[in-house]
Each structure stands twice: as structure tokens, then as C-alpha cells.
């Protein structure tokens, strides 16, 4: 009798406390991308440190859930966590793609109200928690296989995601949206004359084999992050949630990593024979300004409510 009482009052609560939470994570980027490998390493570290409390179970990449469906899968709870960029889930909310317009860093956005605003919107429109941004300080570029001497793409078919749509269209490109996993074949078959992509991660997918030119300068700021189903996030025991917040923040705080990585990737492209196309100073300046102007203009049009609020925390304010 005594023993039973001991079990009920002492051991049973201990057993409940020891319940380990498992979160299922999918990646919108192909598994052979360096981003994903780096994230899997982070997951392994978390799993070691959080043993008994939290385990993240990496399910896979776009073969598990297609690139443009990861956002919806997180929203509805088909999976618990997603590794994605906002451009891949504009079908959940247009605001997802606005984070490319960030001129302030993730660290600054944690202080200036940006992180809280993002989380307000992500919760309200996407039933999501925006855990942490883990790729930044990374410009996008236009890569093409035909030489141009001015920012003019008439007659060219360019692979895009929502990141580049309005900007490339403003240069008269014919655009075609595809997931990263389909770009190599499109290049190989000559279906596209070029594509938008960050300064890095070209080699991960072997695109250097099919790429002649990179247009400089770059524009915008690539954003890749960990997102989570909001109900799942709220339902975590407080201690587990705090642990997850700490671990995702620690990952975000390593973003300076990308600065040196991108320099190296730029060199690697030159070494692989990718030539750069540059414009004169005035044209370059106008090119970058146009990207920004068109980006915010379409953002505010797509979200009159949150576009202007996000601009305040994402854009560097003119003094």
C-alpha cells in the first residue's frame, strides 16, 4: 500500500515531467543544399543538449513536402516546424516575402519591435511562430546566360520566385516561377535564360555548370528562417518553449557567418568561370534603388495594413 502511494504522488509527476517533446521539421530547400546541412547540424546539437526535454525530427526536403507547400503545412500543423524563406509561402500571406526588404539586421529587429511585429502578423495570418532568421547579410543577384550591357531583359525568360517578380518584370523579363529543385533542368533544357538567386548556394545545386554571367550589384537581403505551428508552440511546456527560444536565438546569433561565407562564394564563382556584368556607377545605383522602390511599392499594395508598419522596422530610416 505504501509503495502505491509513493508511486502515485512522487514518481508519477516525475514521469510526466520527463515527457520528451518531439517536433517534426521539414525543409523547403533541397536536402543537398548547404543551408539544410548546416540546419541538420544545429538540430543534432539541440537534440544532444535537450535530450529528455526536446527532440527535433528532421523529416526531409521538398520530396517530403513540396517547396511552395511548406508554409501551409506549418500553418495547418501537418508538420510542426519549417525551414523556409518567406517567398515560398506567399500563398499563406503576402507579408512573408517582405522580409527580403530588410536593411536592419535580425538582431536589430529583435530590439526595434520588428521581431514582435513579424510574430504578430505571422500568428494572425499564418498561425505561425517566427522562431529565428538563420540566413541574412546575403544579397540576391540576377544570373544570365546572355550578355547584357544595360538592365534590360526584353525577350529573356527568367526563373523567379516572388522575391524577384516585380523587379525583373520592370526590366521586361518574361518570368517563370519554379522551386530551386527545378532550376538545373530548366537551364539544361534551355527553357530559361537566367534566374534570380542569392550570391551563395549556386554550387550546392551545380548551377555553375550552366551559368555564364552574374549581374552586379546584388539587391535585397535573403531571409531564411525557422517557423513553427503556433498551436504547437503555445502548447509546449514553458520550460521546453524557453529552451527552443534559446536554441533558435543562438542559431540566429551566428548569422555573421554568412559575411565571410559570401565573400568566399563570390570568389568561387569567379574561379568557376562565371563572369560578372557590371553597369556604370549611376546605372548600378539606379538598379538597386529601383529594386527597393518596386519592392516596397508592391508590398504596400499587397498589404496596405502591414506593409507600412513593416517598412518602419525593416528599412533603414533616412535621417
Residues engaged in binding ligand 173 (CB under 6 A): 85, 87, 161, 163, 180, 196-198, 222, 224
Q: Which is nearer to ligand 173, 200 or 232 (CB)?
A: 200
Q: Which is nearer to ligand 173, 50 or 248 (CB)?
A: 248
Q: Which is nearer to ligand 173, 36 or 243 (CB)?
A: 36
Please tell me the distance from the alpha carbon of residue 34 to that of residue 202, in angstroms, as a whole number: 10
Q: Which is nearer to ligand 173, 25 or 222 (CB)?
A: 222
- Phi and psi angles of residue 84, each rounded to the nearest 5 degrees, phi first: -155, 170
- For 107, the grid coordinates are 538582431
Nearest distance from C-beta of residue 13 to ligand 173, angstroms:
45
- Phi and psi angles of residue 289, each rounded to the nearest 5 degrees, phi first: -65, -35
Q: Which is nearer to ligand 173, 54 or 183 (CB)?
A: 183
Of 167, 158, 169, 28, residue with least CA distance to 89: 28
- For 257, the grid coordinates are 557567418
Nearest distance from C-beta of residue 253 to ligand 173, angstroms:
19
E strands, the chain, in order: 21-27, 54-60, 81-84, 128-135, 140-144, 157-160, 174-177, 194-198, 213-219, 224-229, 275-277
Contact 96, 71 (CB under 8 A): yes
Q: Which is nearer to ligand 173, 195 or 306 (CB)?
A: 195
Q: Which is nearer to ligand 173, 197 or 251 (CB)?
A: 197
Q: Which is nearer to ligand 173, 226 or 243 (CB)?
A: 226
Nearest distance from C-beta of residue 160 to ligand 173, angstroms:
7
Nearest distance from C-beta of residue 24 to ligand 173, angstroms:
22
The CA distances from residue 12 to 71, 126, 239, in Å, are 38, 37, 19
Burial of 239 (0-12, 13-18, 19+ CB in 10 A): exposed
- For 183, the grid coordinates are 532550376
Nearest distance from C-beta of residue 161 to ligand 173, angstroms:
4
Of 247, 215, 209, 198, residue with least CA distance to 53: 247
Q: Count the neighbouring beta carbons within 10 Å of the beta carbon of residue 134.
A: 23
Q: Count the neighbouring beta carbons within 10 Å of the beta carbon of residue 88.
A: 26
Nearest distance from C-beta of residue 191 to ligand 173, angstroms:
16
Nearest distance from C-beta of residue 180 to ligand 173, angstroms:
5
Nearest distance from C-beta of residue 49 to ligand 173, angstroms:
27
Amino acid at each position: 500500500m505504501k509503495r502505491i502511494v509513493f508511486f502515485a504522488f512522487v514518481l508519477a509527476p516525475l514521469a510526466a515531467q520527463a515527457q520528451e517533446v518531439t517536433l517534426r521539421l521539414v525543409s523547403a530547400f533541397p536536402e543537398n543544399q548547404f543551408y539544410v546541412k548546416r540546419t541538420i547540424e544545429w538540430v543534432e546539437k539541440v537534440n544532444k543538449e535537450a535530450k529528455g526535454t526536446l527532440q527535433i525530427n528532421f523529416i526531409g526536403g521538398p520530396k517530403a513536402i513540396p517547396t511552395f507547400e511548406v508554409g501551409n503545412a506549418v500553418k495547418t500543423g501537418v508538420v510542426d516546424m519549417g525551414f523556409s524563406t518567406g517567398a515560398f509561402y506567399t500563398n499563406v500571406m503576402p507579408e512573408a516575402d517582405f522580409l527580403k526588404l530588410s536593411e536592419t539586421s535580425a538582431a536589430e529587429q529583435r530590439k526595434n519591435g520588428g521581431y514582435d511585429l513579424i510574430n504578430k502578423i505571422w500568428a494572425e495570418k499564418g498561425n505561425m511562430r517566427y522562431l529565428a532568421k538563420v540566413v541574412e547579410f546575403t544579397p540576391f543577384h540576377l544570373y544570365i546566360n546572355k550578355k547584357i550591357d544595360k538592365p534590360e531583359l526584353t525577350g529573356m525568360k527568367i526563373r523567379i520566385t516572388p522575391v524577384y517578380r516585380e523587379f525583373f518584370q520592370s526590366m521586361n523579363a518574361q518570368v517563370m516561377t519554379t522551386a530551386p529543385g527545378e532550376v538545373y533542368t530548366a537551364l539544361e533544357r534551355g527553357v530559361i535564360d537566367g534566374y534570380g538567386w542569392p550570391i551563395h548556394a549556386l554550387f550546392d545545386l551545380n548551377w555553375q555548370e550552366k551559368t555564364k554571367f552574374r549581374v552586379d550589384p546584388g539587391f535585397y537581403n535573403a531571409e531564411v528562417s525557422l517557423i513553427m505551428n503556433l498551436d504547437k508552440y503555445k502548447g509546449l511546456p514553458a520550460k521546453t518553449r524557453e529552451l527552443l527560444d534559446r536554441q533558435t536565438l543562438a542559431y540566429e546569433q551566428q548569422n555573421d557567418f554568412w559575411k565571410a561565407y559570401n565573400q568566399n562564394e563570390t570568389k568561387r564563382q569567379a574561379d568557376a568561370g562565371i563572369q560578372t556584368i557590371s553597369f556604370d556607377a549611376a546605372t548600378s545605383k539606379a538598379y538597386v534603388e529601383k529594386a527597393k522602390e518596386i519592392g516596397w511599392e508592391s508590398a504596400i499594395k499587397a498589404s496596405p495594413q502591414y506593409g507600412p508598419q513593416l517598412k518602419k522596422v525593416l528599412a533603414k530610416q533616412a535621417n
